[in-house]
Amino acid sequence: MDEKFDCIIVGAGPSGATAALRLAGAGLNVVVFERGKPGSKNMFGGVLYSTVLNKLIPDFWKEAPVERHVIRKRFSLLSSTAEAAFDLSFNAFDSPPYNNSFTVLRARFDRWYAGKAEEAGALIVTDANVEDFIVEDNAIKGVKAGIEGGDVRADCVICAEGANSLLAEKSGLKTRPGPSSTTLGVKEVISLPKEVIEDRFSLEDGQGASFEFFGTALGGAAGSGFIYTNKDTLSVGIGVPISVLKEKGLKPNDLIEGFKGHPAVARYLRGGKTEEFSAHMIPEGGYKAVPTLVKDGLMLVGDSAGLLNPSLFREGTNLAMASGLLAAETVIDARAKGDFSARTLGGYAERLKKSFVIKDLLRYKDVPAAIGSIPGLFSEGPEAILEFLQGHFTVSEKSKDELHSEIRKAFRNKVSMKKLLLELYRASKALR
């Protein structure tokens, strides 16, 4: 291919499409290579955080294929048989901008969003897997995409390939993240009539809920589970660090089946039909795992740069879009200067540092380690806590004092109070 582009973007996910939208909007000649069709194979839990998107396309929810806006958030701790939950519902989230939290199905959303970039003038090439970079003097000068005429040159490349970041690794900026900083997400889309969903989750038309489950949700393995409501489907899934899967020899399939079978979960899924099943990596290394983000002619954005906030719930889309936008701004500057060296492109890293992206990642930097080192939080802890609570609320003939001292004793025998309090303290400190 003889034509030279101003910028090549690898991947049409939230980060890549954002960069394309911004650059094409500024009149640059951009091409996006997407190995599948936008969204066709992409998956995520289900809540799109839209602060950045709403700036780019004001009131986007009026035209975008969003499912529901989240007004209800529920966090629950599961033991093998019981549940303690914290349930929040906010009427304020029921009006624009809907707390910038929308459930979406990626197949639909990504297609729409890539379409917006296309409308803005970006060329989106589907079914084109980028296999390698064109490198000259150690600078990235283009990519080799797996279609006829797919060797394409550009002033710079934005790598937005997501968590399975083979290209970012090829560029030398990044090494393969270890099993403890990568989580495997497994998800099913389960269909239920709209009315049943609204009834079961106490929602009105358009309103949505996000449920996060911790504790023994995964049979004692570190990880969490979720249910998000769509229009007439539920997104149901789990996330487990690869290290945990390996250590315990667990099969993701068994884990999601176990999760779906937990009585506190099963009641929401009753009568539903599994429509889709998918699995995907999540880079959960947090701040400490963020690599160097630029080199001559190349920038990493979104998941491929490890920009995901692994706090109590996963926030990736927002960071992906923010980084895509900031990378695009940097390209526009670089073009004005006519310089695409790492020095100029480094402006992208500077911008990120000043944005919520790096600030948030810094704030939650200890979460991954804390979660990983506190196995008790996922097995004995929840069992003991819920047993304690059950004891507390059991109606019996014994005097309250008698009862309470019995359960306290039982509780102490199960877990070391000191250890549990310490673990809880560390976890809450990381999450604060």
Ligand X SMILES: Cc1cc2nc3c(=O)[nH]c(=O)nc-3n(C[C@H](O)[C@H](O)[C@H](O)COP(=O)(O)OP(=O)(O)OC[C@H]3O[C@@H](n4cnc5c(N)ncnc54)[C@H](O)[C@@H]3O)c2cc1C
Cβ proximity to another protein: between 1 and 139 the closer is 1
Taking the complex as a whole, the smallest distance from the CB of residue 287 to another protein amounts, in Å, to 36
Q: Footprint of another protein on this chain (CB under 8 A)?
A: 1, 3, 37, 40, 65, 105, 107-108, 111, 123, 125, 127-128, 145, 147-150, 152, 253, 275
The string over 233-260, giving b where at least 16 C-beta atoms fall within 10 Å of a residue's C-beta and e elsewhere, is bbbbbbbbbbbbbeeeebebeebbebbb
Interface residue with ligand X, options 7, 9, 12, 23 (CB under 6 A): 12
Calculate the alpha carbon distances from 290 to 127, 265, 307, 420 in Å.
29, 34, 7, 30
How many chain residues bind ligand X (CB under 6 A)?
41
Q: Which does 68 bind (CB under 5 to 8 A by kind): ligand X, another protein, none?
A: none
Q: Is the Cβ of residue 143 or residue 307 nearer to another protein in the bound state?
A: 143
SS3 helix, strand, coil % of the chain, rounded to 5? Answer: 45, 25, 30
**β-pair partners for 70:** 208
Our finding on whether 101 is near ligand X (CB under 6 A) is: no
The two structure tokens encoding residue 341 = 């060296």
Q: Which stretch binds ligand X (CB under 6 A): 42-50, 82-90, 393-401, 417-425?
A: 42-50
Task: Look at the chain and count its residues.
Answer: 432
Min dist CB 74 to another protein, Å, is 27
- Tell the burial category of 394 from Cβ atoms under 10 Å away from its Cβ (0-12, 13-18, 19+): exposed
- What is the Cα Rg of the chain in Å? 23
Restricting to residues 279-298, which ones interact with ligand X according to CB under 6 A?
Answer: 280, 282
Host H or E run for residue 188: strand 182-191
Nearest approach, Cβ of 52 to ligand X (angstroms)? 11
What is the H or E stretch that residue 227 is in? strand 224-229
The residues in 44-83 that bind ligand X, with binding defined as CB under 6 A, are 44-47, 49
Least Å distance between CB 157 and another protein? 16
Do the beta carbons of residue 182 and residue 223 sit within 8 Å? no
Residue 39 CB, nearest approach to ligand X (Å): 7
User: Would you count residue 303 as binding ligand X (CB under 6 A)?
Assistant: yes
DSSP state letters, 41-91: S----SEEE-HHHHHHSTTGGGTS-EEEEEEEEEEEEE-SS-EEEEEEE-G
Interaction pattern, residues 16-35, with ligand X; x per rule: CB under 6 A:
x----------------xxx
For residues 222 and 61, give the distance between their C-alpha atoms in angstroms, rounded to a whole number: 35
Shortest separation between residue 392's beta carbon and ligand X, angstroms: 34
Measured in whole angstroms, the distance separating CA 260 from the mean position of its chain's CA atoms is: 20
Which residues make Cβ contacts (< 8 Å) with residue 184, sequence separation at least 6? 239, 240, 241, 242, 245, 252, 279, 280, 281, 282
Choose among ligand X, another protein, none what residue 275 binds, the Cβ cut-off being 5 to 8 Å by kind.
another protein
The DSSP result for 91-147, as a single string, is GGGGSTTGGGEEEE-HHHHHHHHHHHHHHTT-EEE-S--EEEEEEETTEEEEEEESS
* Contacts to ligand X from residues 140-199, by CB under 6 A: 160-163, 167, 185, 187
Residue (212 or 383) nearer to ligand X, CB? 212
Comparing CB distances to ligand X, the nearer of 109 and 388 is 109
Residue 247 CA: distances (Å) to CA of 176, 221, 338: 19, 10, 50
Residue 315 binds which of ligand X, another protein, none (CB < 5-8 A, kind-dependent): ligand X
CB of 234 to ligand X, least distance (A): 13
Minimum distance of ligand X from residue 41's CB (angstroms): 6
Q: Mark the segment that binds ligand X (CB under 6 A) among 8-16, 70-78, 168-176, 268-276.
A: 8-16
Q: Which does 280 bind (CB under 5 to 8 A by kind): another protein, ligand X, none?
A: ligand X
- Whichever of 15 and 191 has its CB closer to ligand X, that residue is 15
Binding region for ligand X (CB under 6 A): 10-16, 33-36, 41-42, 44-47, 49, 129-130, 160-163, 167, 185, 187, 237, 239, 280, 282, 302-304, 308, 314-318, 320
